[in-house]
Chain A
Amino acid sequence: MPTLSRQYSSVWITLAIVLAIVFFFSLLWGAIVITPNEVFSSLANASSRETLSLNERIFLDIRFPRAVSCVLVGASLAMAGVLMQALFRNPIVEPGLIGTSSGAAFGASLYFVLGATLHFNAGVWTLPLAASAGGALATLAVFALSYRKEGGQSVIPLLLTGIAVNALCLSGVGLMSYLARDPQARSITFWNLGTLSGSSWNSVIIIGIALAVCFGFALRFAKSLNALAMGESEALHLGVNINKLKIGVVAVTVILVAVSTAFVGVISFVGLIVPHVLRLIKGSDNRYLLMGSALLGAIVLTLADLVARLLLAPAELPIGIVTSVVGVPVFVFLLRRNKHYF
């Protein structure tokens, strides 16, 4: 009987190597191709900005933070998918489907448009806070509305309520985009389909801090979530405090999704595809899935962003289109393969 880490470390190492390679190419390729030499010279001379060439500056201020954003957002969304699936004991649940992402987008767009009028300000954390509040409210609404006294939380009401709340939040986003003066918030495609073109070091730092904190908590939940796979009462018999676990998992998931969504818009299906692929590779232990999904989520989103950048270069495709093209078939496949998911 192999230990958990020894059994899974080969997968983790492979994913880390792939991520390093993919990350490197995402630094180089785009509307403007940057050479490895320019990468190294701009990193070496980053302190003396004036001496940098145009390409070196594009790399430092645009390409590099965007590549890092891809890694962080991909990791966040995929981990959120693992957490939600474990919580609902169902592999077809993901944050984009149950209102978290669109609620966060609505909260963020509300802040963009009304923040100045309402004098609501908490420094750099204002935007992530507004997004988290929106994401949390929408998620709780879906939970509460789909909960049945008999039978608790089952998947069909959950997904249907998710559709309704998603529609409401996205029309709210539409209204805000219509009213907006801020050029970023004005683009409805930004919120609905997502893009990483607005990435800055500022957003990288905030998403990075949120991810680091959530990652730590998520790993602590892993064992309890494994036990939850057998159902609530079995987990209870194994010493899991179910209510505490649920609150913790929902909080971590909402923060992961909302902070990312605040800066890059709604990107669906990453949280669905990544855990599914990892389960096919090796198994369903949540510790393995969380570590693996952080790596594979980063890889998937980096690849998706490369496609979004390169396919119509110099124009860009919204990244949500790329993830949906891959994600929808996976979703339909999961639905058709196993009736017991309902």
Chain B
Amino acid sequence: MLSLENITVQVGARKLVDNISAVFHPGKMNLIIGPNGSGKSTLIKAISKQLDFKGTVRYDKKPLADLAYHELARFRAVLSQHTEVAFPLKVWEVVMMGRYPHFSTQPGPSDKQAVEEAMHYFDVTPMADRDYTTLSGGEKQRVNFARVLAQIWYSSPGQMRYLLLDEPLTFLDVNFQYQFMHKLQQLEQKNDLVMVGVIHDLNLAARFADSLLLLHDGKVLTQGTAQHVLTKENIKQAFQIEPEIIPHKDSFYISF
């Protein structure tokens, strides 16, 4: 369980995130949505210990402030928008970086196994020896998914695992977006994995979220299931544009 208690991020006089509290449970797809500047990216940065904030973030019972970066890295992974490497590294070297928090100088057998399985899961095994810098955007992001998943590949008793997603699907075409969401949906069924993601596309949110947090002006506008959050009124208030909600099978989609 990941809980946020009265999180505020202030830059100068402006509150980017204004007193947000929320609880994210394992076994669910928790997604955060909101317009540009609503504070969703800032919130995920606070949760992943990238910036200073007021309030308390707790991983299980432990406050984030008491967790050193190297401890945090053993059970919490973060996937960002796009990752470039400065030097020509092989794909398997990049994926192996996900195991860095778990070994000191040389990877052990379990590290290699995790890398192999994660690469297999995201279909990047055939490109294991290719230079990461020569891959296409979609291929790179598959490699990063494998790296980030390798980081928290094994469950350990008494320890939840956390996967934070900072708009990982932006710049990907629609085919990749759905592929990744389906893979994440499979993963989310593990009952020791807490998944929290920022996502841009409201239709993806409607289709995949178990629990949604809609932000507006640094505050929570509303939260709950997709049906409950993605209403005409809420979307209009947050995004300043009137949508049309169209029922489709047992779900719905949003058109503007």
- Bound Cα distance A287, B106 (Å): 10
B88 within 8 A of A: yes
Measured CB to CB, the nearest residue on chain B to A226 is B97
Q: From residue A218, how far is it (CB to closest CB) to chain B in Å?
A: 13
Task: List, in ascending order, chain B residues with CB within 8 A of A287's CB.
Answer: 105
With A90-B86, A283-B93: A233-B101 Cβ-Cβ less than 8 Å: no
CB of A239 within 8 A of CB of B106, answer no
How many A-B residue pairs have C-beta atoms within 8 angstroms? Tell me: 79
CB within 8 Å of A: which of B62-114?
68-74, 76-78, 80, 83-90, 92-94, 97-98, 100-101, 105-107, 112
How many chain A residues touch the partner (CB < 8 A)?
27
Whether A237 contacts B85 in the complex (CB less than 8 A), given A1-B115, A3-B107, A5-B106, comes out as no
Q: How large is the interface on B (under 10, 10 to 19, 20 to 34, 35 or more residues)?
A: 35 or more
Complex contact A237–B73 (CB within 8 A): yes
Residues 196-235 of A at the B interface (beta carbon under 8 Å) = 219, 223, 226-227, 229-231, 233-234
Residues of chain B within 8 A of A1, CB atoms compared:
92, 112, 115-116, 128
| A284, B89: Cβ atoms closer than 8 Å | yes
Main secondary structure of the interface of A (DSSP, over half): loop
Asked whether A89 is an interface residue with its Cβ less than 8 Å from the other chain, the reply is yes
Enumerate chain B residues within 8 angstroms of A233, measured Cβ to Cβ: 50, 78, 80
Q: A229, A236, A285: which has the most chain B beta carbons within 10 Å?
A: A229
**CA of A217 to CA of B215 in the docked complex: distance in angstroms?**
46
- The answer to whether B97 touches A227 (Cβ under 8 A) is yes
State which of A223, A229, A240, A283 has its C-beta within 8 Å of the C-beta of B69. A240
State the CA gap A283–B132 with chains docked (Å): 12
Name A's B-contacting residues (CB within 8 A).
1, 3-5, 89-91, 219, 223, 226-227, 229-231, 233-234, 236-241, 279, 283-285, 287
What are the 4 A-B residue pairs with the smallest beta carbon separation, nearest first? A239-B73, A89-B86, A284-B87, A239-B70
26 A–B contacts, CB within 8 A, in A order: A1-B115, A90-B86, A91-B86, A223-B100, A223-B105, A227-B100, A229-B87, A230-B83, A230-B94, A230-B97, A231-B84, A233-B80, A236-B49, A237-B73, A237-B77, A237-B78, A238-B97, A238-B98, A238-B101, A238-B151, A239-B101, A283-B88, A283-B90, A284-B88, A285-B93, A287-B105
